[in-house]
Structure 1
Amino acid sequence: MLYWLMKYIILGPWLRLIFRPQVEGREHVPDSGAAILASNHLSFSDSIFMPLIVKRKVTFVAKAEYFTGRGLKGWLIRQFFVGTGTIPVDRSGGRAAQAALDTQLEVLRAGNLAGIYPEGTRSPDGRLYRGKTGVARLALVSGAPVIPVVMLNADEIQPPGKLIPKVKRVRIRFGAPLDFSRYAGLAGDRFVERAVTDEIMYELMELSGREYVDMYAQKVKNQQPGEPAPAVAAGRLAA
C-alpha cells in the first residue's frame, strides 16, 4: 500500500511535474510477466526516476543498513526505501551477492519486474564500467528476458555526494529485450555468464553513448590518490 501511495499520490506526481521525464522505448517493458531491468548507475536518483515511469512495480534490493537508521533521518530513509518497493538484504557474512540474487529470483518467479545495476555500484565518473556476472546468473536461472535501460543525465541532476537534485528534465531510454534462452541450463558456467554480462553491457554502452571502461567501478573507487585513472576500453567490449 505504501508503495502505491508514494508512486501515485505522494511522490510520483510531484516528481513528474518538476522533472518532466522524457522516456524512449518504454514499450519494451512488458505489461505482464517476469523481466529483468538492467540499468547503468549514475546517481542515487536512478532508483527513483526509473521505477517512477514504469507502469508496473520494479523491485530493487539494497543493504539492510538503509532500513535500520535511527532518528528522523533514519525514519525518512527507511520510509523512502519501503515506499519505493526496495527489499533489504543482509550484507553480513560474505553472502550479500547471493542473498540479493535469491531475493530477485523470488521476484521473477512471481512474474514481476526485478531491477539490477550490473556495475554493482554507482559510476565514479559517469563512464560505464565492467558488469558483474550476477545479472547473467539471474537471467539464466530465471529464464526472464533482460531489458537494458539507461539513465542519460541522472549524474547531471544529482551528482554523487549531492543531496539536493538540480531541477532538470530527466531522460531515460529503454532498449529491446535481450533473450538468453540459447544458454538455457548453463547457469554457473563462468565463461557463459561473462559472455551474457558483456552482451548486456554492450547494449548499455550503445544506448547510453557513454565510454566503457574494462574495470570494475568499485576497484576505481578504491584507488589511492595519485594513482593513474583507468583507460577507456570501449573497443574491447565485443557485441
Structure 2
Amino acid sequence: MKSLREIFNEHSGNLIHKLDHYFEIYERYFEKYRDKELVILEIGISHGGSFQIWKKYFGSKVKIYAVDINPDCKKLEEENVTIFIGSQEDKNFLSDIIKQIPAPDLIIDDGGHTMKQQIVTFEALYQHLKDDGVYVCEDTCTSYWYEYGGGLHRRGSFIEYSKKLIDSLYAWHSESKKFKVNDITRSTNAIHFYDSMVIFEKLRRKAPEHVTKGEKTIAHNEDPMASQRTLLHKIIKKVKSV
C-alpha cells in the first residue's frame, strides 16, 4: 500500500495544507486503522483536501464527519463525508454532533487553532472518543503566538494545558492528598508531544500493579520498590473506598 506521503504527493484534488513532518507522525498512529471500519471526526475543513486524502489512505470503510464554521464548506460533502456547520468553541454544538454520529475512533482538531478553540474542543470531545482511539491536536505552534492567545509559558495556552495533563498520568503514584486520580488518569495511555502536534492515545486503565518473577539471589539486597508497592496498595484501597 502507498504511504500517506505518497498519496499526498500524487494528490490533485482539493487543496490540503500540512507541515511537512506531519506525515511520518500520522503514519505512526494511523497505520493500524487502514482498511478497517473507521469513524473520523475532523475539526476544520478549509478547502476539503484533507478528507480526500484520508479516504484514499484509510480505504472504503472509513466514515468521515467534519466540522467548519464557514457555511460554504457544506457544499464539499461527498460520499462517506458528512459536514456540520458551526463553531468549535460552542460546547452545545459539539455535544449535538456527538449525539448524531457513532463514537469516533480518530479525532483530528485542525480548526481555528486559538487556545480557547483547542481547549474547548478537547474537553467536549475527548471523553466521547473510543477507548482505544487517538486524539490529534494539530498546529499547536500557535501556543507560542500572541495572535492566537499563546506565548511562551503563557497560562491558558494549549501546550501549558496539556503539560498539566501529564501529571494525571502519574496520579496513581502521587503522595499528595490533594492530587487525585481523575478521568484522564483512567482513560489515557500516553500523551505525545511533537513539533506543532499533541497526540493523546486513549486506553481504559486500571491502577498499575507491580509483578515479580523468579527467585531472590542476593539475600541482603533490600527491594528498592517495596515501599512504593506498599504506598501504591494504600492508594488503591483509598480510591476504591471513594
**TM-score (ref. length: structure 1):** 0.37
Structure with max Cα Rg: 2
Q: Relative contact order, CA 8 A, sep 6+: which one is greater?
A: 1
**TM-score (ref. length: structure 2):** 0.37
